[in-house]
Structure 1
Amino acid sequence: MTDSFANAADEIEYYKNLARKTEDELHETRSMLEDFQLSSRELEEELEKEIDSTERRYNEIRIRNEAMKQEVEDWKEKYHQAVKESNTNINQLSRQLEVLKQQLADFIKTRRELEQENDQLERTERAATWSMQEITTKYDAAVERMAILENEVSTKASLSEEVQRLKDELRDANVELEIMKANQAGLERSNNSNNSSLYNGSTSSLAEGKTARPSIGSNYEAMPSLRARLANNSTLQRSASRQASSGSSATRAGGVGAGAVPGHNPVQVVQDMVGRVKSLEARLVSCRSLVTPLLQPPPSYSTTPSTGRNSWQGSQLSTSTAGSDNSRHGSPTATSPNALLGGPKVSRRTSLLLQQHLQQHREQREQQKLREQQRIMAMAESAIST
Structure 2
Amino acid sequence: MEDNTPVFKSPTEEIQYWKSKYQQKVQEFNDLEESFNDFQDSSRELEKEMEKDLERSEKRLSEVTSQYHKLKAESDATMEKSRRNAEDSGTMIHHLQDELEILKRTHRESQRIQQKLEHDNDTLERREREHASSITDLTDKVNKLLEDNAWLQTELDETRLKYQEVSQRTKEELKDLQMELDMKDRAREEKMRGAGLVTPDGQMVGSLQRSNSTLPLPSTPMGKSDLFPPSKSATTKNSLIMVNEMVQLVKDMESRLNAMKVEGPRTPRGYGSDSAMSTPIRV
Q: Give the TM-score normalised by the residue count of structure 2.
A: 0.52
Change (3 A) 1:48 1:61: same
Take 1:33 and 1:146, find their aligned partners in 2: how far apart are those partners? 140
Q: Does residue 364 of structure 1 match 2:279?
A: no
In structure 1, what is the equivalent of residue 28 of structure 2? 18
Take 1:307 and 1:87, find their aligned partners in 2: how far apart are those partners? 77
In structure 2, what is the equivalent of residue 45 of structure 1? 55
Q: Deviations over 1:329-376 (max 9, x none)?
A: xxxxxxxxxxxxxxxxxxxxxxxxxxxxxxxxx6725969xxxxxxxx
Structure 1 residue identity aligned to 2:275? Q
Q: Deviations over 1:192-250 (max 9, x none)?
A: xxxxxxxxxxxxxxxxxxxxxxxxxxxxxxxxxxxxxxxxxxxxxxxxxxxxxxxxxxx
Structure 1 residue identity aligned to 2:133? R
Structure 1 residue identity aligned to 2:88? K
In structure 1, what is the equivalent of residue 74 of structure 2? 64
User: Shift in Å at residue 93 of structure 1?
Assistant: 0.9
Q: Deviations over 1:273-316 (max 9, x none)?
A: xxxxxxxxxxxxxxxxxxxxxxx99xxxx99833999xxxxxxx
Question: How many residues are matched?
Answer: 185
In structure 1, what is the equivalent of residue 155 of structure 2? 145
The structure 2 residue matched to 1:77, chosen from 80, 87, 98, is 87
Find the residue that maps to 1:103 and give its secondary structure.
helix
Find the residue that maps to 2:133 and give its secondary structure.
helix
Change (3 A) 1:121 1:365: farther
In structure 1, what is the equivalent of residue 186 of structure 2? none
Q: Deviations over 1:147-186 (max 9, x none)?
A: 222333444567789999xxxxxxxxxxxxxxxxxxxxxx
Q: Does residue 133 of structure 1 match 2:143?
A: yes
In structure 2, what is the equivalent of residue 95 of structure 1? 105
Structure 2 residue identity aligned to 1:146? L
User: Shift in Å at residue 72 of structure 1?
Assistant: 2.5
Change (3 A) 1:62 1:157: closer
Structure 1 residue identity aligned to 2:110? L
User: Shift in Å at residue 88 of structure 1?
Assistant: 0.6
Q: Hey, which of these two has a bigger chunk of helix by percent?
A: 1
User: Shift in Å at residue 29 of structure 1?
Assistant: 1.5
User: Shift in Å at residue 30 of structure 1?
Assistant: 1.1
Q: Does residue 305 of structure 1 match 2:216?
A: no
Structure 1 residue identity aligned to 2:253? S
User: Shift in Å at residue 120 of structure 1?
Assistant: 3.3
Take 1:45 and 1:366, find their aligned partners in 2: how far apart are those partners? 113
Cα RMSD of the aligned pairs, angstroms, is 4.1
Structure 1 residue identity aligned to 2:159? L
Structure 2 residue identity aligned to 1:364? S
Q: Does residue 119 of structure 1 match 2:30?
A: no
User: Shift in Å at residue 6 of structure 1?
Assistant: 0.7
Q: Does residue 6 of structure 1 match 2:16?
A: yes
Uncovered stretches (5+) of structure 2, i.e. residues with no partner: 7-13, 175-244, 257-272
Structure 2 residue identity aligned to 1:305? D
Take 1:146 and 1:6, find their aligned partners in 2: how far apart are those partners? 173
Q: Give the TM-score normalised by the residue count of structure 1.
A: 0.40
Change (3 A) 1:67 1:367: farther
Structure 2 residue identity aligned to 1:60? K
Percent sequence identity over matched residues? Answer: 8
In structure 2, what is the equivalent of residue 236 of structure 1? none
Change (3 A) 1:308 1:51: closer
Change (3 A) 1:101 1:307: closer
- Structure whose CA Rg is larger: 2
Change (3 A) 1:110 1:5: farther
Take 1:77 and 1:366, find their aligned partners in 2: how far apart are those partners? 80
Take 1:100 and 1:8, find their aligned partners in 2: how far apart are those partners? 121
5 Å-filtered alignment, 1:327-346, equals none
